[in-house]
Amino acid sequence: MSDATPSSDNPDFDDMARDIAEVPAVEVIVTVAVNLMSAAAVKLGLTEEGEEHKDLDEARKLVQALAGLLDASATEISTFHASPLRDGLKSLQLAFREASLVPDEPGKGPGEKYTGPVYG
């Protein structure tokens, strides 16, 4: 017997699709970027728990993904949105460089293929 009402175990995907359809692309891009930034900060040990969640391999992947997203979307989002995201990316890249026992060569750090070398 089929139940037509959605339960908490079975989300209504049609409603979810309609909700997503109403969100402008810029908001989706910015939200994904902020999530990547937050996750990278945690993996860099920049939160209260610090060393407990620090994982530079994971941080590298997140910073690289963030840089790629920002590079790919630069012409699609306004400077109003892009500038603070680029500033956050640079801060994460610098934090990564500082956290690394053996820092990458300039231009070889996470995301630097998109942003160019980051110096501290």
**How many CB atoms are closer than 10 A to CB 94?**
14
Contacts (Cβ under 8 Å, ≥6 apart) of 103: 97, 109
Give 85-89's long-range contacts (Cβ < 8 A, gap of 24+). Answer: 85/30, 85/33, 85/34, 85/37, 86/115, 88/37, 89/37, 89/63, 89/115
pTM, full prediction: 0.84
pLDDT tens for each residue of 10-62: 678 788 777 888 999 999 999 999 999 999 999 999 999 888 999 999 999 99
Q: Give residue 5's pLDDT.
A: 53
pLDDT tens for each residue of 75-120: 999 999 999 999 999 999 999 999 999 989 999 999 999 999 998 7
